[in-house]
Structure 1
Amino acid sequence: MRKLSLTAATICLVAQLTTAQIKLPSPSPGASVMQTVGTTDLTVTYSRPSLKGRAPFTDAFVPTSKVWRTGANGATAFTTSTDLMVNGKTLPAGTYAIMSIPEKSDWTLIFNKDKSVTEQTYKHEEDALRVPLKSVTGGEKIETFTIGFSDVTDSTAKLNIMWADVKATADLSVDVNANSAANVDKAVAEKPEDAAVLQAAANYNLSKGRNLDQALSWIDKSIALKETFRNLSVKSQILAKMGKFTDAIPLAEKALTLGQSSNDQSFTFFKDGIEKSLAEYKAKITTMPGIKSGKGKKKA
């Protein structure tokens, strides 16, 4: 009778803990890894099982040639804030469940639209993308299952899936110029009366040689809202980029005058650049056919 009472008490205690949702240690703890590539944010949220003396990718534990949730507990989630190229194929922006099919050499990496998918509920028709992965063996032994990013540049990275001595890698890339341009256009659309946003947008177009007429329109509006040495300097650079050096010169001169009379301490960092640009514009004028040296006017 005492034994039955203890068992009942134990069951009751477990039920209470479950109902109260008390956080207890998990054999496969959750983890999240985030990486920015250019202007794209990538996030993986997953659970990390450990080997504990077992050998994965065998018939006994995480078998090969079968769909795996690529982690433990719930589905492994992968989020990309913009369209992403995975091994040369496009994955649209969004959140997906990562599934995989481990093999001895080549794996299959799957991005599935069902965010709560399991091995039992997986449906091929819900795949957003499937790509082959090359895996290598014989490296450092990883006790706890790990997903991470490496070899990050402003437009590329590698997604690494590592466990035991196995490492499977996918090449990721983003169109950073297209994403940046989209961000600029969105910022202007959201804050069309913000002088600083308009200046930054115009400066971006200038730096990329992109739609200079649009850049000129943006910087003119920025100046109309609030004239500063910065937006005057940007306008002079846009005009120079368009070959309009005679128009660029007075703007660069005004930027210098305005900067020197302001109390903006950052002008010190811009002054040399503006003076250098002004000298270059004047030099261009002197070498232009039909222009008198230093006058900026056509010969009679």
Structure 2
Amino acid sequence: MNHPKASPFSRVEQKVGLSKIIIEYSRPSARGRTLFGNQENGEPGLVPYGRIWRVGANESTKISFDSDVIIDNQELKKGIYALYAFPEKDQWQIVFHNNSTHWGDGRTNYNPKEDALRILVLPIKTHDFQETFLISFDELDHNRASMIWSWGNTQISIPIQLDTKSIMQRQIDKELSSSASAQTFYETARYYQEQGIYLIEALSYVDSAIEKGGDTYYYHRIRSLILADLNRYTEAIKVAELSLELARKEGKDEFVRLNENNIRKWQTLLPHNK
């Protein structure tokens, strides 16, 4: 019989750069109970210090990565892992476990020989109370994220790093090795400009995009940004003026404003204005 669970199932999917992290777990609620450590009368709380915790309820909490990651300066291969923790008052051991099939709190089935990775983290005491256990992600950019566990007044933050630059470069190399389109050249140039890398190559790629795809406000906008990054402000202003004109013709008010702002900024950086 299908019936509602006291600790309902939840699934979290987070994109980080070009990689995906998925967490499947159950969410217990505090319901007035002491969560970690001992109660005031000395009796164990829901998760006693030093005892393995399944990081949720019901079956093992699972985390999957579709790319290799770095956690606490240690490499973890892509795959599916069970998450376990050994809470203590001042520090927690966090375990990424190769066997993700266990049911229950882990005390009977957990085998440390099957650990893929262990790290130590410091628990954070929070002012706000989180009634129902929550796993979320914060501090996101192309290359990293923090996995956050929150329950009661305790929070755990686990930094996860990804080598998005290498993943993206492999994709670029593959796309450029065939008959690349104007859009491929443009997206490559835009990515390099956003990351502040390979700017000379980026300029060449956006020129190829313009040659293949013609004059567009967004091609020329990226070209102006690359030139400015190369400190070639006079050229950047001329290209931004062209991008502005093309954007105005298409009614792209936001890009008109962006180009106007850049032109004003770059004019102050010209040698005669210093």
Q: TM-score, normalised by structure 2?
A: 0.69
Long gaps (5+) in structure 1: 1-16, 18-22, 288-300
Q: Trace 1:117-266 onto structure 2 (pairs within 5 A).
A: 117-118=102-103, 119=106, 120-135=108-123, 144=132, 146-149=133-136, 152=139, 154=141, 155-157=144-146, 159-163=148-152, 167-174=154-161, 178-179=163-164, 182-183=167-168, 186=171, 189-190=174-175, 193-229=180-216, 230-239=218-227, 241-242=229-230, 248=235, 252=239, 255=242, 259=246, 263-266=249-252
**Whole-angstrom distance in 2 between the partners of 1:171 and 1:159:** 6
Are residue 73 (structure 1) and residue 58 (structure 2) matched? yes
Greater Rg, structure 1 or structure 2? 1
* 3-state SS of 1:214 partner: helix
Deviates more, 1:132-141 or 1:88-97: 132-141
**Whole-angstrom distance in 2 between the partners of 1:86 and 1:130:** 9
**Whole-angstrom distance in 2 between the partners of 1:131 and 1:43:** 20
User: Is contact 2:135–2:149 with CA below 8 Å preserved after alignment?
Assistant: yes
User: Is contact 2:224–2:236 with CA below 8 Å preserved after alignment?
Assistant: yes
* 3-state SS of 2:64 partner: strand
Give the C-alpha shift of residue 26 in structure 1: 1.6
User: Is contact 1:48–1:72 with CA below 8 Å preserved after alignment?
Assistant: yes
Give the C-alpha shift of residue 269 in structure 1: 3.6
**Whole-angstrom distance in 1 between the partners of 2:263 and 2:27:** 57
Q: Trace 1:77-92 onto structure 2 (pairs within 5 A).
A: 77-80=62-65, 82-92=67-77
Are residue 25 (structure 1) and residue 8 (structure 2) matched? no
Q: TM-score, normalised by structure 1?
A: 0.64
**Whole-angstrom distance in 2 between the partners of 1:123 and 1:106:** 21
Q: Which residue of 1 aligns with 2:99?
A: 114
Identity across aligned pairs (percent)? 23
Whichever residue aligns with residue 92 of structure 2, its letter is W
Long gaps (5+) in structure 2: 39-43
